[in-house]
Amino acid sequence: MVPHDPILEVFDRAPVGEPYTPEQRAELDRAVADIAAGKVVPISHEEVHAWVASRARSMLDYS
């Protein structure tokens, strides 16, 4: 008997196929290519709040 595993059950119910529209997939591919090429500096999740606050302050400076 296989033990009950709710995580595997979720995977079994997950939709199969491409989850993105062609436009969304193209945008994602461009973003990944930009990151790989070093055009975009990724921000760790720990730094997101400080980055957003910094951007908000700089937006206020322009208004």
Q: What is the largest CA-CA distance in the chain?
A: 66
Q: What is the rounded distance in angstroms from the CA atom of residue 27 to the CA atom of residue 21?
A: 10
Q: What is the rounded distance in angstroms from the CA atom of residue 15 to the CA atom of residue 49?
A: 33
Q: What is the rounded distance in angstroms from the CA atom of residue 21 to the CA atom of residue 17?
A: 11
Q: What is the pLDDT of residues 9-52, one digit of tens each?
A: 888 887 777 788 899 999 999 999 998 999 987 788 889 999 89
Please check the confidence at residue 63 and state whether its pLDDT lies above 70: no
Take residue 63 and report the two structure tokens written for it.
Answer: 């208004």
Q: Judge contact between 50 and 42, C-beta under 8 A.
A: no
